[in-house]
Amino acid sequence: MSTIIDFRSDTVTRPSSGMRQAMADAPVGDDVYGDDPTVNRLEAKAAELLGQESGLFVTSGTQGNLLAILTHCQRGEEYIAGTKAHAYLEEGGGGAVLASVQPQPIENRPDGTLDLEAVRTAIKPDDFHLAITRLFCLENTFFGTPLPIDYLSEAKALATEHNLQFHLDGARIFNAAVSGGIAPDAIGRLFDSVSACLSKGLGAPIGSVLTGSQDFIQRARRWRKMLGGGTRQVGILAAAGLYALEHNVERLAEDHEHAARLAEGLGKIEEIEVHPAHQRTNMVFVSLSKSKEECLASFMRDRGILLTVEENPIRLVTHLDIGRKDIDETVDAFKEYFRRAA
Ligand SMILES: *Cc1c(COP(=O)(O)O)cnc(C)c1O
């Protein structure tokens, strides 16, 4: 294992030796013919875990969200999403560019929820001047915060009442489930479709799964083909995702403990403000009282600790390549930094 302690994201994990072995040993076939047994197992397993009928292995979370928009909506329709939602803000405008579906952003509250009255108001009446509101998207976890399950139920009721499709960007849905002590399918089954990343806290080198009804996944498969996403003996990669779902879900609790320990340690340093979280998963957000971010990055890099300091607040993400000792070393490095900077 590398000696670098990398807090930039949970996407930086390297496949473990067990995962690499599973990849090497995976039975494969041509997935465009539906012949890859490992892909089929992964898709079935993901669908089951997320409370959906069917699954589709996709290259990334971005591809999963785009496929959801393409499949739920027609050209000239629109999707509702948070102003800070990944599917609105961080995916190159793919819904608008490639699906011809316009976003209707609604401000996220700090806990990631959208005010449901604001959502109701944004739903367009049947008027040919207006786009047709078709899809309502939520994100869970949202910047590390799990959305309350009661809220998700209320949001689903609103979607049903207005005949909207309901999609979850569940890039980190397993963090939400483990942190809340609930089964992932208790969250997933509230939605018409759910995408989940395998390549973040779960530790796979690539891939996401999009899940939904059988009919939905069949239509999404056609769009995936159009996007150049029909791949062949891809069970080699699906094996990593399957291994991740079988071995790395429950252990997310460790990452959450490490984040809590990090938040506690950093919170004792006078110059650091740790942003409060009503329920923390694997992310810690901090602001520094002194604007010393530039030298902070190089100071930490010299000690083998990688941070993204360009953003304020600074986000630190725990994952399976960061151990308890690494957390304590990091807290000590921050203490030393401020002792020197004083
Ligand atoms: C990372 C992320 C995505 C996109 O996943 P990629 O695999 O990086 O394309 C989507 N939504 C959320 C909330 C994410 O954090």
List the CATH number of the domain containing 48.
Answer: 3.40.640.10
Atom number, ligand 1, closest to the C-alpha of residue 141: 13
> What average pLDDT does range 193-205 have in this prediction?
98
What does the pLDDT read at residue 1?
46
Domain total of the chain:
2
Q: The pTM is what?
A: 0.97
What does the pLDDT read at residue 198?
98
In the listed set 247, 272, 289, which residue is the last one of a domain according to the structure?
247
Mean pLDDT is lowest, of 78-92, 186-200, 280-294, for 280-294
Place of tokens 């010299």: 302
pLDDT band at 97 (very low <50, low <70, confident <90, very high): very high
- Note whether 201 and 325 are same-domain residues: no
- Note whether 285 and 164 are same-domain residues: no
- Note whether 265 and 325 are same-domain residues: yes
Question: Is 2 or 32 the better-scoring residue by pLDDT?
Answer: 32
- Note whether 235 and 261 are same-domain residues: no
Half-sphere exposure of 227 (CA within 13 A, CB side): 23
In the listed set 247, 262, 295, which residue is the last one of a domain according to the structure?
247
Q: Residue 10: inside a domain, yes or no? A: no
- The residue type found at 33 is Y
What does the pLDDT read at residue 292?
60
Query: Would the CB of 61 count as within 6 Å of ligand 1?
Result: yes
Q: Residue 110: inside a domain, yes or no? A: yes
- Note whether 127 and 37 are same-domain residues: yes
Query: Hey, whose CA ends up nearest to atom 8 of ligand 1?
Result: 61
C-alpha 328 to ligand 1 mean position (Å): 29
- Note whether 222 and 290 are same-domain residues: no
- Note whether 243 and 255 are same-domain residues: no
C-alpha 3 to ligand 1 mean position (Å): 26
Q: Residue 299: inside a domain, yes or no? A: yes
Give the pLDDT confidence of 12-31 residue by residue, as tens digits.
999 999 999 999 999 999 99
Q: Residue 310: inside a domain, yes or no? A: yes
C-alpha 269 to ligand 1 mean position (Å): 32
Q: Which domain holds residue 171?
A: 17-247
DSSP string, 246-313: HHSSTTHHHHHHHHHHHHHHHHTSTTEEEPP-SS--SEEEEEESS--HHHHHHHHHHTTEE-B-SSSS
Q: List beta partners, residue 136.
A: 80, 166
* Ramachandran angles phi, psi of 283, nearest 5°: -125, 140
Res 293 pLDDT > 70: no
Res 202 pLDDT > 80: yes
- Note whether 221 and 122 are same-domain residues: yes
- Note whether 64 and 81 are same-domain residues: yes
List the CATH number of the domain containing 323.
Answer: 3.90.1150.10
C-alpha 60 to ligand 1 mean position (Å): 7
Which of 322, 331, 323 shows the shortest CA–CA distance to 6? 322
In the listed set 197, 218, 247, which residue is the last one of a domain according to the structure?
247
Q: Residue 4: inside a domain, yes or no? A: no
